[in-house]
Chains A and B, each alone.
Chain A
């Protein structure tokens, strides 16, 4: 058993050494980026990881960080696995990361109860627990620009528009194919409520995580049930498989709509030309036509500091990674203003995220005009229920198919608040919010 002690001792030394490293660098803040470049979800995880890293690298190279404070970051590979994700969270805590981005609904659920105790802000951008939008109950969790429930309401709203009004959805059949995990199950209560409210039938097709590359049985059922619309809540390898299967049974692609996480280029490419017309929601623009992205190209991609393949630069999920880092960078900047310190702490970061506000003027200033809709997070509302749009696959790229539109916040918000209350009750004793609303 002495060997065990030896290993433990060596490790302790190693871990201590690493824990000390970021703190010694002067005038820098540390952010850990949990990523998954391996595993079944790597197809979606790699572009996001590249986007996140490149935007931060660009800020460091071009501006020397934020107000002269460099953002030091390192990646922690989660493989979309909760076990590894929790380990990354512990590491983020030990290395004093400003914020933790779980990038998986499962990991988000695991770390939410720990966040308020460890004083670690959680930024789950448009994923995770929808109810976390209630800032009163979840002061440490943020899910801008909107929640899954906003997304589900956006889908129903858009489909209603297609039919010429929400009341026209009566009697229709809407199929919902989803990853059978926390992620895919999240929007079901809202969709069910809409189903009774607007009189459509909701057909559910769960896809187990380990069988996401074999969906023939689900699509056979789709062929039998003949739904009027199909809605997909997929991730990783599930998306291209679903698109491919849909083309195989000749499901009309213009009746097939996905959440923003089903909108990677590689997801639609799987269906080839036949996938033309496939739609997904989105909250960031696709393409490289923005000054900030040109700067990323100039300072990061062209100098060989990026892992992104040149052809995939500016694709949807890459840009989404950029949005995630943009939120973090803006939150750090706001945290600096609010705290008056240059080197902010995780607690300042929480205040920064809570006061996150990126308006048109600011977007123009940082060279991202039109890249995202303006975002505003408040003390009560940690999601903001911001705008989204629908994009359509043309066969080789995404094009914008609708204007920016609002989710149905009037329906979603009361449900979110009720869900937050239920969460706090089932997790008794849930700590009451002790952080003041700094403005």
Chain B
């Protein structure tokens, strides 16, 4: 009734190819942006920003990174945690070597190192596919984790083997990282980076490169016959994906955790991100947001909501409950809706379009 395109005519290619061709979508999108950029910093307290919003956004970015590789280019990967770690360690090395350079620049730069590592470990994808590729990315994960533990140079020979985020501020004195950084500042920086990267990825995917990834995903032989070079397409997917994961990893340390041991970038993190992709929806950007929100917020929600309605089942059972719910949902989604929450969202929008006339 309210959500339909009747009367919205496109008179140029530009309007026809806009990311949000519908006026209602545009209104919704800008409302969400306004809420995220203005209302949340004004209204939310430190707990919501620090424990929910910031990690949610960072994990969303990592999910987008993996989705580029797995959802769009069809290359399965279990190395996400390792690639995030490369970004984090690169950023730590960079900022300790060049303390005066703007930390945001360094975070964006550290993704380049991650992209390089991703390229190297992406090389086998030219020859092997599917499950076998999973094994090589798994090897990348274990190898990188081993490096983080064993190569002292990476953590500046710190006794405890951990890297931490030193205090860095803008030229104006605004503290961005370190314990003195304000939650709102960190939230806004993270939000800005994630929003801009999402926009870039969206356009990359709509363009020639993204289309060639999807062709490779859908049928690589056909794609090759039609002139898509698998070498370029696959390796660019690995590079872009690792770049995004690297930036997410650097932000994970510098804007959220503050100090980490190598175990933070373990295979558990890779799986966590993979579950976000699966539940959110393979090959969908909005799905990344749904998936990350679901997996990150569900346990926090259960822990806060269940005691609030008088059900006290103990902290450990909430962890068990979360594992069970996520496990069941992954199986259900894989069987019933392989495209995840994003597909449900899309179906909902289609239903809304014809509502209240389901036959239209």
A-B contacts at CB below 8 angstroms, number: 166
How far, in angstroms, from A320 to B149 measured CA to CA in the complex?
30
Map CB proximity to B onto A359-399 as digits: 1 under 8 Å, 0 otherwise.
Answer: 00000000000000000000000000000000000000000
Closest to A83 in B: B264
Partner of B268, one of A2, A81, A129: A81
The answer to whether A129 touches B179, judged by C-beta atoms less than 8 angstroms apart, is no
Instruction: Decide if B354 is an interface residue (CB 8 Å cutoff).
Output: no
**For the complex, would chain A's binding face be called helix, strand, loop or mixed by DSSP majority?**
helix
Residues of B within 8 A of A181 (CB): 161, 261-263
Residues of B within 8 A of A209 (CB): 263, 266
- Least distance between A24 CB and chain B CB atoms (Å): 13
* Interface stretch of the complex, out of A57-65, A113-121, A248-256, A323-331: A113-121
**For chain A residues 155-210, which have a beta carbon within 8 Å of chain B?**
180-182, 185-186, 188-189, 206, 208-210
The answer to whether B259 touches A113, judged by C-beta atoms less than 8 angstroms apart, is yes
Instruction: Decide if B231 is an interface residue (CB 8 Å cutoff).
Output: no
Partner of A87, one of B51, B167, B345: B51
Q: How many residues on chain A are close to B (CB under 8 Å)?
A: 63
Instruction: Decide if A35 is an interface residue (CB 8 Å cutoff).
Output: yes
Residues of A within 8 A of B46 (CB): 90, 93-94
Instruction: Decide if B162 is an interface residue (CB 8 Å cutoff).
Output: yes
Residues of A within 8 A of B345 (CB): 3
Instruction: Decide if B213 is an interface residue (CB 8 Å cutoff).
Output: no
Partner of B258, one of A77, A91, A114, A188: A114
Residues of A within 8 A of B184 (CB): none
Instruction: Decide if B47 is an interface residue (CB 8 Å cutoff).
Output: yes
* Interface stretch of the complex, out of A12-20, A221-229, A236-244, A344-352: A12-20
The answer to whether A210 touches B316, judged by C-beta atoms less than 8 angstroms apart, is no
Map CB proximity to B onto A329-359 as digits: 1 under 8 Å, 0 otherwise.
Answer: 0000000000000000000000000000000
Map CB proximity to A onto B28-67 as digits: 1 under 8 Å, 0 otherwise.
Answer: 1100100100001001111110111101000000000000
Residues of A within 8 A of B263 (CB): 81-82, 106, 181, 209
The answer to whether A86 touches B28, judged by C-beta atoms less than 8 angstroms apart, is no
The answer to whether A14 touches B308, judged by C-beta atoms less than 8 angstroms apart, is yes
Residues of A within 8 A of B44 (CB): 12
Given contacts A35-B315, A82-B263, A11 and B47 within 8 Å (CB-CB): no
Residues of A within 8 A of B262 (CB): 181
The answer to whether B161 touches A91, judged by C-beta atoms less than 8 angstroms apart, is no
Q: How large is the interface on B (under 10, 10 to 19, 20 to 34, 35 or more residues)?
A: 35 or more
- Least distance between B267 CB and chain A CB atoms (Å): 7
Residues of B within 8 A of A91 (CB): 47, 51
* Interface stretch of the complex, out of B218-226, B240-248, B289-297: B289-297
How far, in angstroms, from A436 to B94 measured CA to CA in the complex?
37
Residues of B within 8 A of A8 (CB): 40, 52-53, 293
The answer to whether B304 touches A15, judged by C-beta atoms less than 8 angstroms apart, is yes
Map CB proximity to A onto B154-184 as digits: 1 under 8 Å, 0 otherwise.
Answer: 0010111110101100000000001110000
How far, in angstroms, from A110 to B252 measured CA to CA in the complex?
12
Closest to B44 in A: A12
Instruction: Decide if B191 is an interface residue (CB 8 Å cutoff).
Output: no
Closest to B305 in A: A14
* Interface stretch of the complex, out of A290-298, A405-413, A421-429: A421-429
The answer to whether A106 touches B261, judged by C-beta atoms less than 8 angstroms apart, is yes
Partner of B316, one of A35, A90, A112: A35
How far, in angstroms, from A19 to B261 measured CA to CA in the complex?
30
Tell which of A4, A210, A428, A429 has the most Cβ of chain B within 10 Å: A4
Residues of A within 8 A of B320 (CB): 38
- Least distance between A432 CB and chain B CB atoms (Å): 13
The answer to whether B261 touches A429, judged by C-beta atoms less than 8 angstroms apart, is no
Instruction: Decide if B334 is an interface residue (CB 8 Å cutoff).
Output: no
**For the complex, would chain B's binding face be called helix, strand, loop or mixed by DSSP majority?**
helix
Instruction: Decide if A316 is an interface residue (CB 8 Å cutoff).
Output: no
- Least distance between B203 CB and chain A CB atoms (Å): 18
Instruction: Decide if B228 is an interface residue (CB 8 Å cutoff).
Output: no
Residues of B within 8 A of A106 (CB): 162, 260-261, 263-264
Closest to A80 in B: B263
Instruction: Decide if A37 is an interface residue (CB 8 Å cutoff).
Output: yes
Given contacts A4-B32, A14-B308, A91-B47, A86 and B256 within 8 Å (CB-CB): yes
How far, in angstroms, from A81 to B315 measured CA to CA in the complex?
14
How far, in angstroms, from A197 to B303 measured CA to CA in the complex?
52
Instruction: Decide if B143 is an interface residue (CB 8 Å cutoff).
Output: no
The answer to whether A426 touches B158, judged by C-beta atoms less than 8 angstroms apart, is yes
Given contacts A11-B304, A74-B315, A77-B316, A4 and B293 within 8 Å (CB-CB): yes
Instruction: Decide if B124 is an interface residue (CB 8 Å cutoff).
Output: no
Partner of A5, one of B35, B156, B167: B35
Residues of B within 8 A of A271 (CB): none
Instruction: Decide if B318 is an interface residue (CB 8 Å cutoff).
Output: yes
Map CB proximity to A onto B6-36 as digits: 1 under 8 Å, 0 otherwise.
Answer: 0000000000000000000000110010010
How far, in angstroms, from A180 to B263 measured CA to CA in the complex?
10
Instruction: Decide if A419 is an interface residue (CB 8 Å cutoff).
Output: yes
Given contacts A4-B289, A75-B314, A428 and B28 within 8 Å (CB-CB): no
Closest to B289 in A: A4
Residues of B within 8 A of A38 (CB): 316, 319-320
Closest to A427 in B: B166
Residues of B within 8 A of A185 (CB): 159-161
Residues of B within 8 A of A206 (CB): 149
- Least distance between A49 CB and chain B CB atoms (Å): 8
Residues of B within 8 A of A19 (CB): 45, 47
Given contacts A1-B29, A87-B300, A427-B164, A12 and B48 within 8 Å (CB-CB): yes
The answer to whether B318 touches A186, judged by C-beta atoms less than 8 angstroms apart, is no
How far, in angstroms, from A12 to B308 measured CA to CA in the complex?
13
Residues of A within 8 A of B167 (CB): 427-429
Residues of B within 8 A of A117 (CB): 179-180
Instruction: Decide if B130 is an interface residue (CB 8 Å cutoff).
Output: no
Residues of B within 8 A of A180 (CB): 149
- Least distance between B183 CB and chain A CB atoms (Å): 9
Instruction: Decide if A76 is an interface residue (CB 8 Å cutoff).
Output: yes
- Least distance between A233 CB and chain B CB atoms (Å): 13
Q: A15-B300, A82-B261, A82-B263 are in contact. List 20 more A-B contacts (CB 8 A).
A: A1-B32, A7-B301, A10-B301, A12-B48, A14-B304, A15-B48, A75-B316, A76-B303, A83-B55, A86-B258, A90-B50, A91-B51, A109-B160, A180-B149, A181-B161, A181-B261, A181-B262, A188-B159, A189-B159, A426-B158
Closest 5 pairs (CB-CB, A-B) = A37-B316, A94-B47, A90-B51, A77-B315, A75-B315
| Pairs across A and B, CB under 8 Å, 22 listed | A8-B53, A15-B48, A17-B304, A35-B315, A74-B315, A77-B315, A77-B316, A77-B318, A81-B263, A86-B51, A86-B256, A87-B55, A87-B300, A90-B50, A91-B47, A94-B46, A116-B179, A117-B179, A181-B263, A182-B162, A185-B161, A426-B166
